[in-house]
Homo-oligomer: A and B are copies of this chain.
């Protein structure tokens, strides 16, 4: 069933120990959408400038995505981010952030989007996330991401927004900041009192932990032989997670969401995040097949079962 993905579509300039790319397709909604589209039909809500390249539009179209909600601002420029990774690629420094048309992003959903049952709110201002949710009165499952800036400076707005979500998907640093607890289990317990019944905490190369009231699931990170470019890995994880749930038609209104399905969704998230790192930007997704995804899922099983 179809999934609405809201967030940035951008150009990135990235330098890793493996090389440098001055300008490549990026943005949270891009990675989330591209990863999710392997599992379910995706409808993108985003904004770009008229510098957005035809070949990038073609690529997004080629994934079967609905781009009716991707606004193109005449005379505007697309969000641009530039960063450089440390030698071990566990840290990165932002060299430049030009919000451009993204600064005035005010998502308005096309009519055809409003009845979609699944919604993933990428990392944008919490009030905008809330306004998107309000445009989808029949949504079944809502989840999203946020970041340190909103947690720190828009806390009230964020808490008000979170209350309506089924799941929150953030990294460990954000979970600690949001909860004020350094211990992950305690952090999770506090966050689960903020509204979402499900919390996924991403831990980069170390995997992810899924928390619900009274139970949790730990997924180790896939051990890649080569991490080429980690840009977008967390968003690809999110895309795999929500895409799997949308593809399966998981419906929390039927009662509790099946914990076994959520576990599988976390593994599909890990699988998509791992593929993302294998080439620059979205390049790995240009050739990735569903068969390769299933093979890696099985590899995860065989590397973790005991």
Contacts and interface: CB of A to CB of B under 8 A. Distances in A.
A209 B223 contact: yes
A163 interface: no
A87 B216 CA distance: 25
A225 B303 CA distance: 26
A171 to B, nearest CB: 14
Interface residues of A toward B: which range?
20 to 34
Q: Which of A227, A303, A306 has the most CB of B within 10 A?
A: A306
A220 interface: yes
Interface string A268-288: 000000000000000000000
A197 interface: no
Contacts of A154: none
A139 interface: no
Given A216-B223, A220-B219, A306 B183 contact: no
A120 B290 CA distance: 45
A260 B304 CA distance: 11
A179 to B, nearest CB: 13
A26 interface: no
Interface string A164-206: 0000000000000000001111100000000000000001001
A212 to B, nearest CB: 12
Contact of A306 (B87, B185, B260): B260
A88 interface: yes
Interface of A: 87-88, 182-186, 203, 206-207, 209, 215-221, 223-227, 260, 263-264, 266-267, 301, 303-306
Q: Which 8 A-B pairs have the closest CB atoms?
A: A218-B220, A263-B306, A206-B206, A185-B225, A220-B220, A185-B223, A218-B303, A218-B304
